[in-house]
């Protein structure tokens, strides 16, 4: 089968198109023909320094799949050949990644049927980024009706889903992005769009809440964002981050706030819950660009830049 392989860890131009053996579905597994594959910042991190994640080259990266079941392994009775599915493979360990290829083998227990209203390109943008946002906004932060939520990096893959999920939960949403993505934030449903380069996020957050502070913050940027957020999050408020944090978090303690670290686990139920929102029109992936699988290096160059809008998806088959 055709695959874009990382022969060694390093820069984006290292990807090689190779003909590699087609995998076979074992017990409890599905063989999926990959129609489209999403790209994510974690792909770029592994491509650059995969050994830090316990991997050895060559590897086939990619942690978002939308495709069609080709073969059902022994013991699987809830899928059949021809079913359209979507999922996010594991990032680490045996049979991790794998979506930058024509076929992928995956445990059936983490796979869900593709939302009927989405194309494969759109569906491939959902599992990892959408699942991470869902885990943070719905399950960890427990955002509720009437609350005010601040989302850092609202125009990115995870942030764009987070805005929509917070709105679907009945919250008032503030979101940050650069000047060129202010309209994107508003189109996604943000009640207040903040240009983090030209505006003081703290001042906006306090002004929007009459000085009380926001109820919850979701950080998709990293660095010292969590530490900064403590000052404009109300007492007993909540903060969630998908990246490491830097700085003194003493204020978190004195204000009785809760900090959640969010690292996505793989499961079918979350995908099914998101599918219901998608089919109701409350959640839609923001696909900024579609590239051929062979152009994966170009996608990774943009991932490395740390800037962008929504998701880049690869057309595989």
| H or E stretch covering 253 | helix 250-254
CA–centroid distance for 59 within its chain: 21
pLDDT attached to residue 94: 72
Q: CB under 8 Å to 202, separation ≥6 — which residues?
A: 228, 231, 232
Q: CB under 8 Å to 272, separation ≥6 — which residues?
A: 112
- Tens-digit pLDDT profile for the chain (317 aa)? 999 999 999 999 999 999 999 999 999 999 999 999 999 999 999 999 999 988 999 999 999 999 999 999 999 999 999 999 999 998 887 777 799 999 999 999 999 999 999 999 999 999 999 999 999 999 999 999 999 999 999 999 999 999 999 999 999 999 999 999 999 999 999 999 999 999 999 999 999 999 999 999 999 999 999 999 999 999 999 999 999 889 999 999 999 999 999 999 999 999 999 999 999 999 999 999 999 999 999 999 999 987 779 999 999 99
Q: Tell me which of 3.40.50.720, 3.40.50.300, 3.30.2130.10, 1.20.1070.10 is the CATH number of domain 130-261.
A: 3.40.50.720
Sorted by where each begins, the domain ranges of the chain are: 2-126+285-315, 130-261
The pTM score is 0.96
Q: Are 148 and 214 in contact (CB under 8 A)?
A: yes
Neighbours of 305 (CB within 10 A): 9
As a whole number of angstroms, the distance between CA 125 and CA 204 comes to 31
Q: CB under 8 Å to 186, separation ≥6 — which residues?
A: 193
Q: Are 30 and 111 in contact (CB under 8 A)?
A: yes
**Closest C-alpha among 19, 7, 64 to residue 311:** 64
Q: What is the pLDDT of residues 250-269, one digit of tens each?
A: 999 999 999 999 999 999 99
Strands (E), the chain: 2-5, 16-19, 29-38, 65-72, 84-87, 103-107, 112-113, 148-152, 172-177, 192-195, 214-219, 233-241, 258-261, 287-292, 311-315
Percent of the chain with pLDDT over 70: 100
- DSSP letter at 185 equals H
pLDDT attached to residue 121: 98
Q: CB under 8 Å to 9, separation ≥6 — which residues?
A: 46, 47, 48, 49, 50, 51, 57
Q: Are 79 and 30 in contact (CB under 8 A)?
A: yes
Is 223 in a helix, a strand, or coil?
Answer: strand
Cα-Cα-Cα-Cα torsion 234, 235, 238, 243, nearest 10 degrees, comes to: 80
pLDDT attached to residue 308: 75
290 has which bridge partners? 313
Q: What is the pLDDT of residues 240-251, one digit of tens each?
A: 999 988 999 999
Neighbours of 280 (CB within 10 A): 10
Q: What is the pLDDT of residues 31-50, one digit of tens each?
A: 999 999 999 999 999 999 99
**Closest C-alpha among 100, 70, 64 to residue 83:** 70
Name residue, tokens 């594959």.
37
- Residue ranges of alpha helices (H) inside 73-181 are 120-123, 127-134, 157-168
| H or E stretch covering 182 | helix 182-188
As a whole number of angstroms, the distance between CA 262 and CA 240 comes to 7
CA atoms within 13 A on the CB side of 119: 11
Does CATH number 3.90.180.10 belong to domain 2-126+285-315?
yes
Name residue, tokens 């991470």.
132
């Amino acid at each position: 089968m055709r695959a874009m392989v990382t022969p060694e860890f390093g820069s984006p131009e290292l990807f090689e198109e190779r003909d590699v053996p087609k995998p076979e579905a074992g017990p409890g597994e599905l063989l999926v023909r990959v129609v489209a594959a999403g790209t994510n910042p974690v792909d770029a991190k592994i491509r650059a320094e995969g050994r830090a994640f316990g991997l050895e080259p060559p590897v086939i990266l990619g942690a978002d799949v939308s495709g069609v079941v080709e073969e059902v392994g022994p013991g699987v009775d809830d899928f059949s050949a021809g079913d359209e599915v979507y999922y996010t493979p594991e990032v680490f360990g045996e049979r991790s990644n794998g979506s930058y290829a024509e076929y992928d083998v995956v445990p059936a227990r983490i796979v869900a049927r593709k939302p009927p209203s989405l194309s494969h390109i759109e569906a491939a943008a959902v599992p990892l980024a959408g699942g991470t946002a869902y885990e943070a906004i719905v399950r960890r932060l427990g955002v509720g009706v009437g609350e005010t939520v601040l989302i850092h990096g609202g125009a990115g893959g995870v942030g764009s889903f987070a805005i929509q999920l917070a709105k679907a939960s009945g919250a008032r949403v503030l979101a940050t992005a650069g000047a060129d993505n202010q309209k994107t934030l508003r189109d996604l449903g943000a009640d207040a769009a903040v240009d983090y380069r030209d505006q003081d996020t703290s001042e906006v957050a306090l002004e929007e809440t009459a000085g009380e502070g926001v109820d919850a913050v979701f950080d998709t940027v990293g660095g010292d964002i969590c530490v900064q957020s403590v000052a404009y999050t109300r007492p007993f408020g909540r903060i969630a981050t998908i990246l490491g944090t830097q700085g003194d978090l003493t204020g978190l303690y004195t204000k009785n706030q809760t900090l959640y670290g969010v690292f996505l686990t793989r499961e079918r139920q979350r995908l099914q819950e998101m599918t219901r929102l998608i089919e109701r029109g409350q959640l839609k992936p923001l696909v900024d660009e579609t590239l051929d699988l062979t152009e994966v290096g170009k996608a990774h160059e943009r991932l490395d830049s740390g800037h962008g809008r929504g998701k880049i998806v690869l057309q595989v088959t």
